[in-house]
Amino acid sequence: MKALIGIYETEVEKMPIFFQITSANLPISIGSIGNHWDQESIVRKEGYPHFHWLQTEEGYGDISIDNRLLRLEKGEGVLIKPFTPHTYLSNKGWLTKFVTFNGTLSDEFSKIVGGKNYILGKDSTFFNYSSWIDDIIDTHLTGERKQINLSVSCYEFLMNLNQTGQYEFTEDQIYKKYVLPTITTIENQFELPLTLEELASNLFVTPQYLSRVFKKYTNETIFSYLQKVRLNKSKELLINHSHLKIQEITALCGFSDTSYFISLFKKLTGYTPLQFRKLYLIRK
């Protein structure tokens, strides 16, 4: 992971975006996050599939939602409920920050923030949403991230938007002892040729046992989780480092074969890596 961290620290472009920087198998997770985003106008007739926070970093912009037109000045943001139709109306110089949330408790998020289609928030001395996003990204870039702490931090973010209830996190010892370390290893060493046998050996259990408990708690295999992490990292590199060639991204993300990487990427996203890059960078 050190090589990738070096790239991020020295060559991050103006509009970074990072996918699934915390495991989706945690109670509350970060599906995507970004800042310094030159916001364009967007029409989402069917909304967005996850809880989505959008905040103005510079300038201002308007959002049409629930037959209302909301203006977001600097420091102001809105949390939009999944599948709520809305439209972003961009103005020149509108820079935004954003974060989307998923996780194993995503179906329960409405109990945390309330049942409204959207919630407005603003930076204050009590809680600064803007600094929270910057801090999460900085922590991700330096590699100083602890999965559980980030999940709890996401909970704090949501609770500060609407304190309508309390929620208790439960900790399972088997999950903490075997599944979480496996997730941590994968997300910190995904560029290496990791094997099930190696992961199990590090935890002093058999590959069969590790495979079984991982599937029980995450509902997916270790291999599929590893591929998903590698794919998310490739998306980050495609968007944030447009100078990198596909072959370079293949190697940096732990794929041994470029043709396989391209085929897998298209199968799971519907786009080739170059098409995906153009889709996100055309605004630049």
Give pLDDT tens digits for 113-127.
888 899 999 888 778
Q: What pLDDT does residue 26 have?
A: 86
In a shared domain, residues 104 and 61: yes
In a shared domain, residues 82 and 150: yes
Is residue 69 exposed (0-12), middle (13-18) or buried (19+ Cβ within 10 Å)?
Answer: exposed
Predicted confidence (pLDDT) at residue 217 exceeds the cutoff of 60: yes
86-109 confidence digits (pLDDT tens): 999 888 889 999 999 999 888 888
Query: Which two three-digit tokens encode residue 230?
Result: 């590698």
Number of structural domains found in the chain: 2
Q: What pLDDT does residue 160 have?
A: 84
In a shared domain, residues 93 and 49: yes
Residue 167 lies in a domain: no
142 vs 241, residue with greater confidence: 241
In a shared domain, residues 61 and 154: yes
Q: What percent of the chain has pLDDT over 90?
A: 50
Predicted confidence (pLDDT) at residue 131 exceeds the cutoff of 80: yes
* Cβ proximity of 170 and 97 under 8 Å: no
192-215 confidence digits (pLDDT tens): 999 999 999 999 999 999 999 998
* Cβ proximity of 151 and 26 under 8 Å: yes
* Cβ proximity of 43 and 9 under 8 Å: no
Task: Place 228 in a pLDDT band, splitting at 50, 70 and 90.
Answer: confident
CATH for 215: 1.10.10.60
In a shared domain, residues 147 and 55: yes
d(CA 199, CA 183): 10
* Cβ proximity of 15 and 36 under 8 Å: yes
Q: What pLDDT does residue 100 have?
A: 96
CATH for 93: 2.60.120.280
Query: Mean pLDDT across the chain, nearest whole number?
Result: 85
146-196 confidence digits (pLDDT tens): 778 888 889 889 988 864 333 333 457 888 899 889 988 998 899 999 999
Q: What pLDDT does residue 154 have?
A: 92
In a shared domain, residues 150 and 181: no
Residue 17 lies in a domain: yes
Q: Which residues contact 274 (CB under 8 A, 6 or more apart)?
A: 246
Stretch among 8-12, 44-48, 185-189, 255-259 having the lowest mean pLDDT: 8-12
Predicted confidence (pLDDT) at residue 5 exceeds the cutoff of 60: no
In a shared domain, residues 180 and 263: yes
Rounded to 5°, the CA angle 268-271-273 comes to 95
In a shared domain, residues 61 and 122: yes
In a shared domain, residues 155 and 222: no
Task: Place 59 in a pLDDT band, splitting at 50, 70 and 90.
Answer: very high
Residue range of the domain that includes 132: 2-161
Residue 73 lies in a domain: yes
Predicted confidence (pLDDT) at residue 6 exceeds the cutoff of 50: no
Indicate the pTM of the whole model.
Answer: 0.66
In a shared domain, residues 207 and 258: yes
Query: Which two three-digit tokens encode residue 270?
Result: 């519907």
Q: What pLDDT does residue 145 have?
A: 66
Rg (CA), the chain: 19
Domain limit, last residue, from 127, 161, 195: 161
Stretch among 12-26, 167-181, 241-255 having the lowest mean pLDDT: 167-181
Selection from 213, 189, 185, 209 nearest residue 199 by Cα = 185
Q: What does the chain look like in DSSP terms, one character per residue? A: -HHHHHHHHHH--SS-EEE--S-TTSSSEEEEEEEEEEPPPEEETT--SSEEEEEEEES-EEEEETTEEEEE-TTEEEEE-TT--EEEE--TT-EEEEEEEESTTGGGHHHHH-S-SEEEEE--SS--HHHHHHHHHHHHHHT---HHHHHHHHHHHHHHH-----------HHIIIIIHHHHHHHHHHTTS---HHHHHHHTTS-HHHHHHHHHHHHSS-HHHHHHHHHHHHHHHHHHH-TTS-HHHHHHHTT-S-HHHHHHHHHHHHSS-HHHHHHHHHTT-
15 vs 34, residue with greater confidence: 34
